[in-house]
């Protein structure tokens, strides 16, 4: 594989590794928010912001960790035939399915950017009592989808290398 592709794959893997490991700890922040919510509802006036903050943290956890999960090959895979295939056959099927994923992620990113632009232009807020601005979480969503798209491209290059008998 060309040197530029090798550098791209290493850079994307490193970026998603750092962001994914950061995102892993967001689950603990979310649990702390939910614990605070439970305590405040039991012993004091309930906080109106806790449910949405927990939802936003879960979105960030899920989307920012997606690329790292793909890098670790930890996504759910239906394994009727896959485990019995030779590595080259599995790499060919992965390259084909990754093509569909790239197509999906490009449209998802396009929609996310459009939605983020709308949120920024019109100061979109949630329809809840707390009514937070939606632009920050939509920006995080776009970053997460973009990282997943980059990791998908890196995975595609790894699959092409595996088909050729190389490693990246």
User: For 57-98, how does the pLDDT look when each residue is reduced to its tens digit (9 = 90+)?
Assistant: 999 999 999 999 999 988 777 778 888 889 899 899 999 999
Question: Residue 79: its pLDDT value, please?
Answer: 77
How many angstroms separate the CA atoms of 48 and 45, rounded?
9
- The pLDDT, as a whole number, for residue 148 is 97
Dihedral angle computed from the Cα positions of residues 150, 156, 159 and 164, in that order, rounded to the nearest 10 degrees: -120
CB of 62 closer than 8 Å to CB of 45: no
pLDDT tens for each residue of 5-29: 999 999 999 999 999 999 999 999 9
Q: Residue 157: its pLDDT value, please? A: 96
Q: Would you state the pLDDT for residue 76?
A: 75
pLDDT of residue 164: 93
Q: Which two tokens stand for residue 82?
A: 């896959």
Whether 57 contacts 141, CB under 8 Å: no
Angle at 95 between CA 94 and CA 98, to 5 degrees: 80
- What letter does residue 128 receive in the DSSP assignment? S
Q: pLDDT tens-digit profile of 96-152?
A: 999 999 999 999 999 999 999 999 999 999 999 999 999 999 999 999 999 999 999
Return the beta strands (E) in 48-152 as ranges: none
| Predicted structure pTM score | 0.91
- C-alpha 152/C-alpha 165 separation (Å) is 20
Contact present, 71 and 13 (Cβ < 8 Å)? yes
User: Given this model, what pLDDT does residue 124 score?
Assistant: 97
Measured distance CA(49)–CA(126) in Å, rounded: 11
Contact 19, 151 (CB under 8 A): no
């Amino acid at each position: 594989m060309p040197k530029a592709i090798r550098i791209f794959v290493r850079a994307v893997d490193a970026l998603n590794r750092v962001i994914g490991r950061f995102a892993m700890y967001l689950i603990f922040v979310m649990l702390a928010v939910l614990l605070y919510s439970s305590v405040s509802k039991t012993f004091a006036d309930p906080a109106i912001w806790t449910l949405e903050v927990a939802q936003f943290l879960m979105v960030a956890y899920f989307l920012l960790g997606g690329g790292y999960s793909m890098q670790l090959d930890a996504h759910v895979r239906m394994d009727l035939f896959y485990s019995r295939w030779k590595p080259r056959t599995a790499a060919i099927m992965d390259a084909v399915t990754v093509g569909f994923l790239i197509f999906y992620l490009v449209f998802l990113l396009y929609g996310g950017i459009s939605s983020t632009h709308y949120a920024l232009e019109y100061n979109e807020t949630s329809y809840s009592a707390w009514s937070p601005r939606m632009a920050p979480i939509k920006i995080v969503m776009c970053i997460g989808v973009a990282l997943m798209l980059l990791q998908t491209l890196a995975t595609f290059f790894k699959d092409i290398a595996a088909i050729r008998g190389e490693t990246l």
